[in-house]
Chains A and B, each alone.
Chain A
Amino acid sequence: MIPIIPIRLRSLVWLWLTLLAVVLPQSLGLASIGKSDCKVVYDGQGFASTGYDGCSLRAFDYDSATVLTVDRGTDSTGHASALFEKSAEFLAAKGTTTLQPMADAAFQTGSIRTIAGYETAGNAGLVGNTYNVNLWGMYATDASQGPFAFVNALKAEASAAGANQISIAGLKVLNTDLLNISPKFAERLGLEFRQISSETILLQGEVH
């Protein structure tokens, strides 16, 4: 037997149920769970993503949008758009509206290591087929083998990781010489040089 509830009260109950269904999951960072477009995402090596995919896990289980990965088979443009699309979703779920500058992310999550005799500080990782190296600090030690050896060492890392492209970002660059690398010199390194801002440079190229 259906209980007799006044129409106005029934409307209020439906309104509350609707609000609970929509607002509560969002407030818990669960907005995407159960979406019909949820799909497994893969990293550049074909492994299922451990990054925030907006579907399977709550955003709060991740520390940073920088762990985002992209779908298998997409091209580099697709990578970028997928990355930013998910970044926005991640940040929305986290309740923040600003992306963390890569220089800060590389500073906070990076490590220090010696590459071809250069002391470096930063991070590196694979996005699709591109090996991204983000350096916020670098200087030559007495064991420095020169810029060609340095770039070749990074390309070897990229190749070992399965990448066919490499992107080396110099962040918070103080050395004005580095900001003005000549295109010819970059070409000799097998890379294309771009100055992104007054303190950011990008060297990109193929990995053979």
Chain B
Amino acid sequence: MNDAEKLKSTLSAVFRRKGANGRYTRVFDDLDSRQQHSLSEKVRLNPDELAVIGSAESDETWFLLTTQRIVWHLRGRDETLSIQDVYHVKADFRKMMATGTNKGELRELQIETLNHSNLPVEVEAGAPLAGVWNALLNLTARNWQKK
């Protein structure tokens, strides 16, 4: 098993242990072929890059975590972030309270980068969000160790 396969295995296990597959947010290999195809069309993987977790809600809102990057589309913009640049992943509790968004309805996470800018990502609410959140937190822990 090479490094990419090990990372994929670890992040997939974290997703499954701390969250669960949803309707359109799943471990990439568990997405149906149409969803996999849709995300693969949007993100061209490098030869040594593996898709780990995908969220294929629509052409306007999608998300893909690979062994090298996080790529997503939200509010009309494509975003890409190296997994080495993820410093923290948070939920905005204040915004939730202000907007009356309870935890079960939460779809948005804030990725804080190493240069401390905040990037919003959206995935499926509930257990899928918990899985994505904890997989990303696993990456942050690795990056904190490197600091």
Closest CB in chain A relative to B114 CB, distance in Å: 11
A107 proximal to B (CB < 8 A): yes
Interface string of A177-189 (1 = CB under 8 A from B): 1000000000000
What residues of chain B lie closer than 8 Å to A177, measured between beta carbons? 17-18, 134
Question: Which residue of chain A has its CB nearest to the CB of B125?
Answer: A174
A52 proximal to B (CB < 8 A): no
A175 proximal to B (CB < 8 A): yes
Q: Which of A133-154 contact B (CB under 8 A)?
A: 136-137, 139-142
What residues of chain A lie closer than 8 Å to B87, measured between beta carbons? 142
**Alpha-carbon distance A7/B94, docked complex (angstroms):** 68
Q: Which of B17, B18, B97, B127 contacts A121 (CB 8 A)?
A: B97
What residues of chain B lie closer than 8 Å to A107, measured between beta carbons? 97, 102-103
**Alpha-carbon distance A23/B82, docked complex (angstroms):** 69
Q: Which of B19, B20, B93, B129 contacts A137 (CB 8 A)?
A: B93
B91 proximal to A (CB < 8 A): yes
What residues of chain B lie closer than 8 Å to A137, measured between beta carbons? 91, 93, 96, 103
**Alpha-carbon distance A140/B91, docked complex (angstroms):** 11
Q: Which of A149-208 contact B (CB under 8 A)?
A: 172, 174-177
Question: Cβ of B104 and Cβ of A175 under 8 Å apart?
Answer: no
**Alpha-carbon distance A175/B131, docked complex (angstroms):** 8
Apart from the given pairs A107-B102, A110-B97, A176-B130, 8 other A-B contacts in the complex at a CB distance below 8 Å: A112-B97, A137-B96, A172-B104, A174-B126, A175-B19, A175-B130, A176-B17, A177-B17
Known contacts A112-B97, A121-B97, A142-B87, A172 near B103 by CB under 8 Å: yes
Question: Which residue of chain B has its CB nearest to the CB of A177?
Answer: B18
A119 proximal to B (CB < 8 A): yes
Question: Cβ of A121 and Cβ of B144 under 8 Å apart?
Answer: no
Closest CB in chain A relative to B50 CB, distance in Å: 24
Known contacts A175-B134, A176-B130, A139 near B91 by CB under 8 Å: yes
Q: Which of B17, B93, B129 contacts A119 (CB 8 A)?
A: B93
Interface string of A40-70 (1 = CB under 8 A from B): 0000000000000000000000000000000
Interface string of B90-128 (1 = CB under 8 A from A): 110110110000111000000000000000000000110
Closest CB in chain B relative to A11 CB, distance in Å: 54
